[in-house]
Structures are given as structure tokens and as C-alpha cells.
Chain A
Amino acid sequence: DQQVKQNSPSLSVQEGRISILNCDYTNSMFDYFLWYKKYPAEGPTFLISISSIKDKNEDGRFTVFLNKSAKHLSLHIVPSQPGDSAVYFCAASPSYSGAGSYQLTFGKGTKLSVIP
């Protein structure tokens, strides 16, 4: 039972254009969301996060949008650069205290290729 879904295994985008990566979740207890970027043979690198009290968070070229009613979030990268080519993971966490509170549930990832 996949609670965090990234339905596009791969995405190709031209350099300079916008990359949009999507993520859906099913667990209504999730209210903190993160995006990680991962290069081969390395650990995931934290990119940006958003709490459910917000619908948008921006950090430089990266913006995350959250639609809580649709249980959907997306990561926008603009402009896309060749160095952005990596696997992007969406992750979610509930924010209550107690068992299970801080574990991240990950999607399977989307491989982004930015073509020069």
C-alpha cells in the first residue's frame, strides 16, 4: 500500500525551461512534506519542505506547491539546469508526537533529465 506516489518514473526537460515534478499522497495524517534530490551512489540531499499550514514555499529556483484537499504536491524548478539531472523523491511525515511521528514515507522517485 503506497502512501506516497510519484506516478512519473522519468521526466525530460530542455535546459532553461520549467521542470514540474508531481506527488500524491493518501494518508490524511501527513502534514509535513519534503523533496529530496539524489545522485547515483549518493545519499538523498534535502531540497525544500512545506508544512500543511502553507500552500507554497519558495527557495531560489525551487518552489513547492501543496494542495491539501487534493492530497497533491508539486515541485517546480525554474529555470532547469543540467546539474538538476537526478532522481527526485517526495517524502511525507505526520507531525503528531509519539510512535511513527518522525518517520518519513518516501515515493519511488522521478528521474529528471535536463537536456542542454
Chain B
Amino acid sequence: NAGVMQNPRHLVRRRGQEARLRCSPMKGHSHVYWYRQLPEEGLKFMVYLQKENIIDESGMPKERFSAEFPKEGPSILRIQQVVRGDSAAYFCASSPRQTGGPVEQYFGPGTRLTVT
């Protein structure tokens, strides 16, 4: 019974390159969330997606960041032209279909992005 899977676990990029982070939700989960954790901070919400739909991207920086959750395949968080301030741990979470209110979100192991 696989949990939320994220890859790569570690990613090193030079300034100006693109970073692609992948997330496969738990089996039976159709809702995906991305969070970012800076050192010594809590996790900060970025975006909430369902299949082929962005539901809430209020936490996503307006430029260089994008997310998708296609009909087939994992959810992708894409960061273009990375800068040093993008260095952080990026966590993906998933939950089952939401009915009647919030439910627990289950987190993956994270991708640690380092921008050199």
C-alpha cells in the first residue's frame, strides 16, 4: 500500500535552470496539495489541484512557478529560472475526495531543492 511518492528526493539546480518536481498521490486519492518549507519554518501552502484542474493557487508565487495534475501521470510542480531563494523542501500531500469538509492530508517524503 504505497503512500504519497515524490521524486526526485534531492535536486540540485544552478541559478536560471528549471526544476521539475513530481508527486504521485496515494491510491484512491484524487486531490493533491503542494507545500514549501523553508529552513526553521512551518510548511506553507502553495497550490491545491484535482485531476486536470487547479482549485486554489493562492499560495503560489505569481511568476516562474506552475503546477499541473494531468489526467494520466503524476502531479508536477515546475519552477522556471530558479533562484537561490527557491532552495527549500517541497512537500506534496494527497487526500481522498472531499465531501462535507476538510479531511486529513497525507504527505510524501519531500523533494529537497538546492539552487547553487
Contacts and interface: CB of A to CB of B under 8 A. Distances in A.
A43 B107 contact: yes
Contact of B102 (A41, A93, A99, A107): A93
Interface residues of A, number: 28
B98 interface: yes
Interface in A99-116: 99-109
B106 interface: yes
Contacts of B93: 43
B108 to A, nearest CB: 5
Interface in A33-56: 34, 36, 41-46, 49, 51
A103 B43 contact: no
A102 B108 contact: no
A62 interface: no
Given A44-B43, A95-B101, A108-B40, A103 B33 contact: yes
B109 A89 contact: no
A65 interface: no
Contacts of B31: 102
A108 B112 CA distance: 18
12 contacts: A34-B104, A42-B109, A42-B110, A44-B107, A89-B43, A93-B102, A95-B102, A99-B56, A100-B58, A102-B55, A103-B59, A108-B40
Interface of A: 4, 32, 34, 36, 41-46, 49, 51, 89, 91, 93-95, 99-109
